[in-house]
Amino acid sequence: MFISNIFLCSVTSVCLLDFVIVEHNETSPLSKEYISASHTVTRHQAILDYIQALYSSEEGIFYGWLEDTPTDPRIGSYRHISNVYDPYTILKQLGSTEIIDWSNCTEFLESLVNVDSSSIYYNLVNDSYRSPPSSADFYHMIELFSDLDLDGYIHEDEIAEYIADCQTSNGGFRLYPFNNDSAGMIPTCFALQALESIGRLSAIDATAALNYVLSCYYNDGGFSEVPAIEFPDIEPIPDIVPLGLFCLNILGRSDLIRVQNTTDYLLQYFDDKGTTTGGTLVNTERFIWSLYTLGTLDQINVTQMLSWVLSCQTHQNGAFLPIPTLDYQTERLEWIRAAVHILYLCDSIDLLNENFTVTKYPEYHIPQWYIDYIEEHFGTNTGGIVAFFMAGAPYAGIILLVSLSGAYIVWSNKQEKLKNQEHHN
C-alpha cells in the first residue's frame, strides 16, 4: 500500500496529481510532424527543454505539464509556491538554475507575502493567492527564499510562533493552527524541518513531538501517518518511512532508529524490476530516500533501479512517466522531480549525459476543455476577465495574474524552441 502523490510532490502540502492512464503502443507509427521534429540531445537537455516549456515568464511560475490548467480564479485555479520550488529544486540538483531568469519568479513569491498588519498571517508567506501558510510549506519557503535572496521575508519569530500553534496535544503537528484536524506525520516532519532550518526547535515541545513520532514507529520497522493507539485500524506505509527517519534525526534521536529492522521492512516492497512493487517514480523516490538516510542503499541493486528510472523518460517530449508502460499523456513535472532526485541521491546525475532522441520540442498549450468551458460560461471578453481579477484580488500581487496569455506563452516557447533547434544543430 502506498500514499501516492501526497507529500514531496508538486504541491508539498496535501495534493493529488491527476493523470490519464493510456497504455503505450510501441508499434504506433510516428506522424510526419513528429518525425520532422525529431532531434537528439542528452537526457539532461531534454529535461531542461521540457522545464523551459512549462515556464510562464508573465506569471513567474512553472506549469505542471504541457496542458496544465491556466491560472484563473473563476475556476479556482491559482498558482502555488511549489510552482516555483519544485522546478527550482530540479534545476539546482541538475546544476542548471542559470537557464531561467528568476526575477519574475521572485516577484511572484514576493506577492505571496501577507502585508496586512491586521491579519493573523501578517509577515508570513501564503502558499498561494487563496491558501494561507501551512506548516507543511514553511520549510520549502525558507529554502527557496534563501536561495533567491529573499531572506528579508523570512520572519523567524512569526514562523516559529505559527508552527508552535500547529502542535496538538499529542505532540504532532497539523497543517493549520486554527482548525481541529488531527496531527499527521507529513505536517509534523515539515514543521520540524522548518524549525530546524531557522534554529527554533526550542519554540515547541520537542519531547512531545518525539513521543508522537515514536507512536507512529512500528515494531516491524515501518511508520504510519498517525498513531496506531489513536487509530487502531491504521497500518504502516512505506512512503512515510523517510519522514519518520527525518523527524528522529532532527530531534537528535537517531539512536532510536532500528536500521536493519526498518531496512528489512522496506525491502519487502522492492521487486525484481528494481522498483517498489506496484509503485510509481514517486514511491520509488521515497524508498530510495529512506535507504539513503539509513545508509543501506548497498542492500539493493542500485544499477538495476537506476535503469528502471531512466526507462521512465519518454521520447515524446523528454519528460518522465510514473511508470515506463504508460502513455506520454501522463508526463508530469512531478515525475521529473522524483527521477532527478533519485539520481541525485545516488550520485548518478551523470547518467543524464547519455544521448537521447526526442520526437517533439515540448510546447505548452492551453487545454481545449478550458477554452470551451470559459467560452461557454464567461464568453471571451478579456475586459471582463481583467475586471474579475481586479475586483477579487486579495493581494496587490494578484494583478500579475492578469497578464496571463496563452498566446504569449505559446509564442515564447516557440522562440525558445527555435533557439534550441539552432543550439542543437
pLDDT score of 386 more than 80: no
- The type of residue at 364 is Y
Where is pLDDT greater, at 367 or 416? 367
CB atoms within 10 A of CB 212: 23
Segment among 114-118, 274-278, 328-332 with least mean pLDDT:
274-278
Torsion angle defined by CA atoms of residues 118, 123, 128 and 133, in that order, rounded to the nearest 10 degrees: -90
Q: Which tens digits make up the pLDDT trace of 75-99?
A: 999 999 999 999 999 999 999 999 9
Q: How far is CA 380 from the centre of its chain?
A: 33
CB atoms within 10 A of CB 227: 23
The answer to whether 65 and 54 have CB atoms below 8 angstroms apart is yes
Q: What is the pLDDT of residue 229?
A: 85
What value does the mean pLDDT take over residues 34-61?
A: 91
Q: What is the pLDDT of residue 155?
A: 97
* Intra-chain end-to-end CA distance of the chain, in Å: 47
pLDDT score of 124 more than 80: yes
Q: Cβ contacts of residue 271 below 8 Å, gap of 6+?
A: 277
Q: What is the pLDDT of residue 233?
A: 85
CB atoms within 10 A of CB 411: 11
Q: How far, in Å, are 13, 181, 330, 377, 393 from residue 81 at the CA level? A: 10, 23, 23, 29, 17
pLDDT score of 4 more than 90: no
Q: Which tens digits make up the pLDDT trace of 136-188?
A: 899 999 999 999 999 999 999 999 999 999 999 999 999 999 888 999 999 99
What value does the mean pLDDT take over residues 358-381?
A: 90
What value does the mean pLDDT take over residues 63-82?
A: 94
Residues 105-126 as b/e (b if ≥16 CB within 10 A, e otherwise) read bbebbbbbbbeeeeeeeebbbb
Strand 355-358 vs strand 55-56: parallel, antiparallel, or unpaired? unpaired
Segment among 127-141, 271-285, 298-312, 351-365 with least mean pLDDT:
271-285
What percent of the chain stands above pLDDT 70?
81
Q: How far is CA 44 from the centre of its chain?
A: 19
Q: How confident is the prediction for the chain on average, in pLDDT?
A: 84
Cell 543501506 identifies what position? 296
Domains of the chain: 24-76+91-99+258-380+408-425 (no CATH), 112-253 (1.50.10.20)
Q: What is the pLDDT of residue 393?
A: 38
Where is pLDDT greater, at 101 or 26? 101
pLDDT score of 345 more than 70: yes
